[in-house]
Amino acid sequence: MPLSTEIRLASQHDRPAVENLVDAAYSHYVPRIGQKPGPMLDDYAALIREGVVHVAESDGVIRGLVVLVPEPDVMLLDNIAVDPAFRGTGLGRRLMVFAEEAARSAGYRSIRLYTHELMSENIALYGRVGYRETHRGEDEGLRRVFMVKTLA
């Protein structure tokens, strides 16, 4: 990962790059699950307006993002995406750490997420970094695995 990567709050100016990144990061799942994954359907103009989208920028280019939605009792890690060209560089891990630190700073004791049940590599990754599955179910027409992590 380039040393100059900065994580910052997204602005409306970033919206096209955010949408392109999400499409690039998730499009390979469409054939596997038979439809667009949830992050490809989100309204990023609204999410950016709400101040819940953070981008990882390197040399003026957005290479990753995380969407963090405060809920009453837990922080929702709604989306984490990395430019396919930056997979394996540690950027995704850095975004996960950022999300957990942001949740702690906001006073949360836990962070939750969900992913499609056919995204097995994501489920395994989240398990390796301390998330535990709480349940599975259909949500917004998608079969999802819900997970939570207690923050130290």
Mean pLDDT of 33-50: 95
Query: What phi and psi values does residue 15 have, to the nearest 5 degrees?
Result: -50, -50
HSE at residue 82, side-chain half, CA atoms within 13 A, is: 16
How many angstroms separate the CA atoms of 65 and 78, rounded? Answer: 11
pLDDT mean across residues, the chain: 94
Domains of the chain plus CATH, in order, are 6-150 (3.40.630.30)
pLDDT of residue 2: 47
- To the nearest whole percent, how much of the chain has pLDDT over 90? 89
Query: Left (φ > 0), alpha (ψ -120 to 50) or beta: where does 67 sit?
Result: beta
Mean pLDDT of 28-36: 93
Q: For residues 131, 68, 55 and 128, what is the CA-based torsion angle, rounded to 10 degrees?
A: 0
pLDDT of residue 105: 97
pLDDT of 146 > 60? The answer is yes
How many angstroms separate the CA atoms of 3 and 114, rounded? Answer: 30
**Environment class of 123 (CB within 10 Å of its CB; exposed 0-12, middle 13-18, buried 19+):** middle
How many angstroms separate the CA atoms of 35 and 86, rounded? Answer: 24
Q: H or E element: which one contains 34?
A: none
pLDDT of 3 > 90? The answer is no
**87 bridge partner residues:** none
pLDDT of 4 > 90? The answer is no
Specify whether the CB–CB gap between 74 and 108 falls below 8 A.
yes
pLDDT of 1 > 80? The answer is no
Mean pLDDT of 5-21: 97
Confidence of residue 5 (pLDDT cuts 50, 70, 90): confident
pLDDT of residue 142: 84
Q: pLDDT tens digits for 46-84?
A: 999 999 999 999 989 999 999 999 999 999 999 999 999
